[in-house]
Amino acid sequence: MAFPQQFLDELTARSDIVDVVSAYVHLTKKGNNYFGLCPFHNEKTGSFSVSPDKQIFYCFGCKKGGGVINFIMEEENLSFRDAVAFLAKRANLELPEEDGDREAGQKRQRLLDLNRAAAQFYYQNLQSPQGAAVAAYLNRRKISRRTATNFGLGASLDSWDSLLTAMLQKGFTKAELLAAGLVVQNQQGRLYDKFRNRLMFPVIDVRGDVVAFGGRVLDKSEPKYMNTSETMVYSKRRVLYGMNLAKKSKRGNIILCEGNIDVITLHQAGFDNAVASMGTALTVEQIRLLSRYTKELVLCYDNDEAGKNATQKAIDLLNNSEFSVKVLQLPRRLENGQYVKQDVDDFIKFHGREAFEALLTGSENHIEFRMDAVAAKYDLTDDRQRVAYAEEISGVIASLANAVEREVYAGRAAERAGISKEAMELEVKRAFRQRASRERRQLERTSLNPAAQLQPKERGCRYTDLRSAMAEEGVIRLLTRDSTLFDCCCQLRPEEFSSPLLGKIYSILLRCHQSGQQGGVSLLSQELEREEMNHFTGLLQKPESMANSRQAMADYIAIIQDSCRARSGAQESDPLVAAQEKYKAKKGYGGKPHE
């Protein structure tokens, strides 16, 4: 084990799951449990539960679950070891000296230290004569020295190995520089700096760690922007540029932009609630991060076709979430007799802070943006296109859950198309009925297939023998609720389980009981993969009567052993089944602890 069980028990005892989760999710007590909006997927009705008695969380929507360590792993995107270290720091506990997984934690910390040293190197370059070209570029973009310092902006030199040489002198290794994505190795094995002659943007996460870098060229060369690749400490799906500063904003919403310069320009103009994704479209992980700090988002992408597509994708992703979503569309600018697109930086430069504030205050909600986008596709003076428009826009309006909203926007769509409000309302009602009918048929198909309902969501955990697996789940539920029932399991072996995962869980529980340990959630968190822990927590949510528990245990064991004998008979007569069983036996029930 990477951590002694005694230490994990002490850690979880000091890290009450309700207290920890409450720092991320607003919880309301209902009965014995607490409920709130799930931080791991978008929802409007809270299906995320926390049990103070069992010290576990579980979402009935996305099916994620586990103990307090699993929650921190998911929410902070940490390995098991780093999640334990995170909670240990919170609980003022020292990590045990015999930690066998310390090497991974030390490697992670070395990369963070290296990134911070590199950020300081780039920053010092900007202050030196060698950074004059980057300083001149910032002046042209009207980015003040104070703003540059606030964001830690720097300069990479027009040199092949200036960073490489400086970091080696500080005691970092070539392997660490490669692992951090700061240098590149060519086919001949030579190392050279990845970022050269660029304005440098250190990417700082919400904990204040420098996890990556972005670099922008000073001329017209390509690629215009270059970002750190995925590393041990950086996942672009989980980070938003400027979030470390925007989380402190007193404004009630967060503005989502396209680029780093847009974020910097807005912060300098007083809009310190601006952030941007790192070269990706908005992701579910970024939405989870945003949900910690706001419930209102303003999408402010460029007003070109790519920007409109990015806006639509973000709206689709945020649909049915708890966020209130608005869209700020930047007007085109008249230049030399032609209207040209402008980004946030252009708008602030030409029109000023007050003009942007006015746009922000008057930004439209997402349904208005979607309606404008649909209308732009049709010539509404043509009767056939008006009919096509009415059909498409009715589908958009029918997606709204609120009946009053559907009526209001149906009226607006009718006015725009030049048709009667009554006709558009009939079209919306028809689209709404069709949508409800599709959802009902899908629900009926699921309800009429109870076997499908009982199957785990995760493909890797699917059951091959449903009858036996249901009994195996029952055994595990009973054992976790009453440890005296292990006396009934003397003749039940893990290899008799039809599900490798359930056999693995049973084996861990049995081993702990035989060694006198408490087989708690913290131990299983260390030995089960995340997907497996989700499944284990899910099966604990199912009802299990403790009345006549010994008889129930005996019945479950009888079903498991009877099914095992049936499978053994099939194995003898069917070579394919025999090969499958041989593969399962070779793979074993053991699992790797989290790395």
DSSP labels for 277-300? Answer: ESSS---HHHHHHHHTT-SEEEE-
**Is it the case that residue 330 has pLDDT exceeding 50?**
yes
Residue 593 pLDDT exceeds 50: no
Neighbours of 377 (CB within 10 A): 11
Token output for 251 = 């404004």
Tell me the pLDDT band of 177, cut-offs 50, 70 and 90.
very high
Integer Cα distance of 52 and 50 in angstroms: 6
Tell whether the model's pLDDT for residue 414 goes beyond 90. Answer: yes
Q: Which residues of 520-551 are buried (b: 16+ CB within 10 A; e: fewer)?
A: bbbbbbbbbbbbbbbbbbbbbeeeeeeeebee
| Superfamily of 5-90 according to CATH | Zinc finger, CHC2-typedomain (3.90.580.10)
More confident residue, 54 or 443: 54
Average pLDDT score over the chain: 86
Range of weakest confidence among 84-88, 99-103, 314-318, 589-593: 589-593
Say what the pLDDT of residue 180 is: 96
Q: Which CATH architecture has domain 240-370?
A: 3-Layer(aba) Sandwich (3.40)
At residue 518, the pLDDT reads 65
Q: Break the chain into its structural domains and give their ranges.
A: 5-90, 104-234, 240-370, 377-447, 457-587
Lowest-confidence region among 197-206, 257-266, 364-373:
364-373
Percentage of the chain beyond pLDDT 90 is: 50
Residues 6+ apart with CB under 8 A from 450: none
311: pLDDT strictly greater than 80: yes
- Whether 481 contacts 546, CB under 8 Å: yes
**pLDDT (0 to 100) of residue 99:** 45
Please check whether residue 322 is in contact with residue 44, taking contact to mean a CB–CB distance below 8 angstroms: yes
What average pLDDT does range 412-427 have in this prediction?
Answer: 92
Residue 302 has pLDDT above 70, yes or no: yes
Nearest-CA neighbor of 296 among 356, 259, 239, 246? 246
What confidence score (pLDDT) does residue 207 get?
87
pLDDT at 128: 95
- Residue 566, pLDDT > 70, answer yes
The pLDDT of residue 317: 86
pLDDT by residue (tens digit) across 205-244?
998 999 999 999 998 888 899 999 999 999 998 899 999 9
> Cα-flanking dihedrals φ and ψ of residue 203, to 5°?
-100, 115
Q: Please give the average per-residue pLDDT across 93-117, as a whole number.
A: 79
Is the model's pLDDT at 343 over the cut of 90?
A: no
- For 457-587, CATH gives 1.10.860.10
Q: How far apart are CA 294 and CA 60, in angstroms?
A: 23
The answer, yes or no, to whether residue 328 has pLDDT greater than 60, is yes
When pLDDT is cut at 50, 70 and 90, the band that residue 450 belongs to is: low
For 271-289, how does the pLDDT look when each residue is reduced to its tens digit (9 = 90+)?
A: 999 999 877 789 888 988 8
Give the model's pLDDT for residue 214.
Answer: 95
Give the CATH fold of the 104-234 domain: DNA primase DNAg catalytic core, N-terminal domain (3.90.980)
Predicted local distance difference test score (pLDDT) of residue 76: 84
Specify the pTM: 0.69
Rounded to whole angstroms, how far apart are CA atoms 175 and 35?
Answer: 46
Can you read off the two tokens belonging to residue 225?
Answer: 């922007």
If you average pLDDT over residues 411-432, what whole number do you get?
92
- Integer Cα distance of 110 and 309 in angstroms: 39
Tell me the pLDDT tens digit for each residue of 9-31.
Answer: 889 989 999 999 999 998 999 98
Query: Do residues 325 and 366 touch, judged by C-beta distance below 8 A?
Result: yes
Per-residue pLDDT at 139 exceeds 80: yes
Side by side, the strands of the sheet bearing 33-36 are 28-30, 33-36, 48-51, 56-59, 65-66
Residue 37 has pLDDT above 80, yes or no: yes
Residue 589 pLDDT exceeds 80: no
Decide which of 446 and 481 is more confident. Answer: 481
Q: Return d(Cα 12, Cα 8) in angstroms, integer.
A: 6
- 319-323, 397-401, 490-494: range with lowest mean pLDDT: 319-323
Rounded to a whole number of angstroms, the distance between the first and last alpha carbons of the chain is: 12
The pLDDT of residue 592: 39
Place 571 in a pLDDT band, splitting at 50, 70 and 90: low
pLDDT at 583 over 70: no
* Of residues 337, 332, 329, the one with CA closest to residue 310: 329
What value does the mean pLDDT take over residues 120-140?
A: 96
- In which residue are the tokens 């060229």 written? 217
Count CB-CB contacts under 10 A for residue 337. 5
* Burial class (CB within 10 angstroms; exposed 0-12, middle 13-18, buried 19+) of 204: buried
Contact 74, 48 (CB under 8 A): no
Q: How confident is the model at residue 435 (pLDDT cuts 50, 70, 90)?
A: confident
Q: What is the pLDDT of residue 545?
A: 84
Asked if pLDDT for residue 578 goes beyond 60, the answer is: no
Separation of alpha carbons 519 and 515, rounded Å? 10
Strands 210-217 and 198-204: antiparallel
